[in-house]
């Protein structure tokens, strides 16, 4: 039996030859390939962002989503003006619209509520939305202030350039 097992091994060796350098680790190339693929996938967002920024710098074109409009509801006009001014003083936005009273319906603690509110439209860098939201939360009288945003996909190139010049980089 021992001879037949040795014969079987000899029969397999021509089909699965091992190179002398790879005998200790027959699949070392797969590990390196896996590492390269993993790093590429992890670096993709950074590389894409850098490529888009470089393209924008060279061509002067706008990158969709660079700026956003944040919506912030306020209880009354005075609170809206105070919050808008505070946002501008902190240089968290280039422009804030204060829209007149609007009616609102919403559920609060399980009950349907109705109120009038003032809406702020805040034009800022998308990268500043987190900082803006945290700041508004710290100064807003509502327990849970509404701060939501939408990216600006397209717009007047001159206006978008003005936004870029008006809001400090991160």
Predicted local distance difference test score (pLDDT) of residue 27: 58
Predicted local confidence at residue 146, as pLDDT:
94
pLDDT (0 to 100) of residue 84? 98
Residues 6 or more apart from 129 whose CB is under 8 A from it? Answer: 68, 70, 149
Residue 57 φ/ψ, nearest 5 degrees: -65, -40
Q: Output the CA–CA distances (angstroms, integers) from residue 81 to 10, 96, 135, in the order listed.
A: 87, 10, 15
Q: What is the DSSP string of 59-115?
A: H-PPPTTSEEEEEEEESSHHHHHHHHHHHHHTT--SEEEEEEEEEEEEEETTEEEEE
62-88: pLDDT as tens digits = 788 889 999 999 999 999 999 999 999
pLDDT attached to residue 8:
58
pLDDT of residue 76: 96
164 contacts 94 by C-beta, under 8 angstroms: no
- Which stretches of the chain score pLDDT less than 70? 1-28, 52-53, 55-57
């Amino acid at each position: 039996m021992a001879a037949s097992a040795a014969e079987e091994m000899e029969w397999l060796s021509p089909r699965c030859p091992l190179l002398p350098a790879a005998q200790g680790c027959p699949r070392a190339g797969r590990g390196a390939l896996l590492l390269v693929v993993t790093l590429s996938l992890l670096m993709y967002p950074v590389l894409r962002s850098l490529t888009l920024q470089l393209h924008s710098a060279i061509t002067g074109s706008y990158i969709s989503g660079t700026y956003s409009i944040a919506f912030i509801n306020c209880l009354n006009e005075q609170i809206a003006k105070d919050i808008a001014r505070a946002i501008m003083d902190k240089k968290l936005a280039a422009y804030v619209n204060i829209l007149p009273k609007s009616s609102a319906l919403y559920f609060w603690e399980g009950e349907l509520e109705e109120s009038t509110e003032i809406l702020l439209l805040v034009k800022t860098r998308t990268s500043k939305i987190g900082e803006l939201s945290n700041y508004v939360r710290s100064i807003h009288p509502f327990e849970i202030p509404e701060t939501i945003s939408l990216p600006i996909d397209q717009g007047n190139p001159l206006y978008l350039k003005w936004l870029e010049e008006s809001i400090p980089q991160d």
